[in-house]
Amino acid sequence: MYIAVKNMTDLKMPQPCHGKSLARLARECFTSHQALIVDFDGVGAISQGFLQELFLPLVAEYGADFLRSELQVINVSPDIDKAMKAAFNANALNHFLGQRENQLNQASDAEIYDLNLAWLIKARELARENGMLAELMMGIGDEALRLAISQLSINDIQQLAQAGWLCFAPRFTANFLQDLLTRPHDVVDVLLGLSGPH
């Protein structure tokens, strides 16, 4: 994917909100297994907040090695290069990571966040590609819910994942579990128990 920064705004200097929008596009690109080229051609200056909103969250989420292989920045002026180096100094990165960790700890347990994130990403993928699999594999029987999930952006998914509780519920009943504990079951029995009405 190719993105020209100058096309994101009419302002002479892109602001933090534009960096956040570009970071959201980058996440969607990486989720789709695409490399990203960010072109600074025609951009003479950039706000420090733009760079921090764009790059620091991506470094924290994906790691520097991943970004080096999947994100290419081209046509960078000397002033922007200097601003980038300042944005990436150790103090700025440590401060950002500390803030992010505090937000995650306050909003939700990290394991709950990871479970929600993985479930929502897979649910969105299946809802977009195959409604029947979304119903069978993920338990999303409601067509309107499948449609809504299919339209989530990666930013929406991350916000939902931080809810502090699971975004999905068990598909089995207490009776099913008690029956499972009293006698052995074949895989088919388990699948039928999970997919049947409760």
Q: Kindly state the tokens that stand for 166.
A: 């699971």
Stretch 148-156: mean pLDDT = 91
Indicate whether 126 pLDDT > 90.
yes
* Better pLDDT: 190 or 119: 119
The whole-number pLDDT of residue 11 equals 76
The whole-number pLDDT of residue 59 equals 77
Model pLDDT for residues 62-77, shown as the tens digit of each residue: 877 888 889 888 998 8
Beta bridge partners of 38: 3, 73
The whole-number pLDDT of residue 37 equals 92
Stretch 98-124: mean pLDDT = 73
Write down all domains in the chain, each with its CATH number in brackets: 2-107 (no CATH), 110-195 (1.10.4000.10)
Q: How far apart are CA 39 and CA 155, in angstroms?
A: 22
Q: How far apart are CA 42 and CA 5, in angstroms?
A: 9
The whole-number pLDDT of residue 15 equals 84
Least confident of 32-46, 101-115, 126-140: 101-115
Model pLDDT for residues 18-59, shown as the tens digit of each residue: 888 898 899 888 888 898 999 999 888 887 778 878 887 787
| Contacts (Cβ under 8 Å, ≥6 apart) of 163 | 107, 108, 116
The whole-number pLDDT of residue 107 equals 45
pTM of the model: 0.46
Handedness of CA 138, 143, 147, 149 (dihedral sign): negative
Q: How far apart are CA 18 and CA 8, in angstroms?
A: 7
20 in Cβ contact with 54 (< 8 Å): yes
CA trace torsion 120, 122, 128, 132 (10° rounding): -110
